[in-house]
Structure 1
Amino acid sequence: MVLVVDDDEHIRALLRTRLELDGLTTTSANDGIEALAQLATSRPAAMLLDVSMPRMDGFQLLETLRNTRRTPPPTLMLTARNAADDVRRAIALGAKDYLAKPFNDQLLLRRVRRLLRTPAAVAPQTPERPSGDELFL
């Protein structure tokens, strides 16, 4: 499953349709807050994440996941922000790839498929929760 996080309803619908036509299952969130709620109950194999969103932007979502020691799914930042500083920040926060809008469909699909081949993408599809006999530092 690929989680699509973008505040633009049309972009979310376009991305979901394109990914589903390529045989992938998808879910979506309107912003970082909704994405956090979904990540608490499921473990998508990959995430497409916009930067500029209300309430919680893409950078804040990645930072929140890092600060709470929750590993984000392999993440492709898909955003209109194209500055080198934005790319560096996204990678430093844990994003695996970065693609500027507007994007080429075939390039997007190749990058999503590459994300799905990363080791974290094949992890169990449940959220990380320690059991009684595990020690997390």
Structure 2
Amino acid sequence: MPRASGRILVVDDNKVIRQLIRVNLELEGFEVVTAGDGAECLEVVHQVRPDVVTLDVVMPRLDGLRTAARLRADPRTRDLPIAIVSASTQYEVDAGFAVGVDAFLSKPFEPAELIGLVRQLAERGARSEPGTGAAADSLPRVRGLAGESETPAQA
């Protein structure tokens, strides 16, 4: 499979998890920038201009769901692909989709799942026109993407 490209902003308060995600994505050719919580994400997102953001849910200062809502409310980041990578409850999944999160990946995850999801989101973002909202229509359906129902065993 060809090497991926794109800049990914990984947001997680757990340094070990940030490094795990970073290493796996860098091995696939992605450029990775990290942030320790949602507040830091909002401080750097306009500077680094990522192609995809991955967010943990439970973080200090600003959690992942509120961060996602703020990214969706900002015209500059409204169409930015967002994936929640967290040990999420069904309530958090529902709340995430309600604020516009594109995908969920449950911890613990297989590195191949992470890479596949980020690759699809990055490709979708590259094909979409900023501000059109057309990106979601072109995203292939994979486990955990918006609009896909999951059984409790998968959630």
Same fold (TM over 0.5): yes
Amino acid aligned to 1:115: L
Is residue 31–residue 54 contact of structure 1 (8 Å, CA) maintained in 2? yes
Q: Among residues 84, 92, 96, which one is paired with 1:90 in the alignment?
A: 96
Partner residue of 1:62?
68
Task: Give the C-alpha shift of residue 120 in structure 1.
Answer: 5.8
Q: Percent identity?
A: 37
Measured in 1, the distance between the counterparts of 2:111 and 2:55 equals 16
What does residue range 1-137 of structure 1 map to in structure 2 within 5 Å?
A: 1-69=7-75, 70-71=77-78, 73-81=80-88, 83-119=89-125
Query: Contact conserved, 1:73 with 1:121, CA < 8 A, in 2?
Result: no
* 1:59 Cα offset (Å): 0.7
The root-mean-square deviation of aligned C-alpha atoms, in Å, is: 1.8
4+ residue runs over 4 A deviation: 120-124
Quick one: which amino acid aligns to residue 11 of structure 1? Answer: I
Deviations 1:21-75 (A, max 9, x none): 1111100000001100111323200011100000000011112223344415201
> Does structure 1 retain, via aligned residues, the 8 Å contact 2:80–2:125?
no
- Which secondary structure state, in structure 1, belongs to the residue aligned with residue 117 of structure 2? helix
TM-score scaled by length of structure 2 = 0.73
Q: Structure 2: give runs of 5+ residues left out of the alignment.
A: 1-6, 131-155
Instruction: Report 1 or 2 for greater relative contact order, CA contacts < 8 Å, sequence distance ≥ 6.
Output: 1
> Where does the alignment leave 5 or more consecutive residues of structure 1 unmatched?
125-137
Task: Tell me how many residue pairs correspond in the alignment.
Answer: 123
Distance in 2, Cα, partners of 1:27 & 1:113: 16
Farther-moved stretch of structure 1 (62-71 vs 37-46) = 62-71
- Does the aligned pair in 1 maintain the 2:51–2:81 contact within 8 Å? yes
Q: CA deviation at 1:92?
A: 1.5
Bigger Cα displacement from structure 2, 7-16 vs 57-66: 57-66
Q: Aligned partner of 1:26: which letter?
A: V
Structure 2 residue identity aligned to 1:111: L
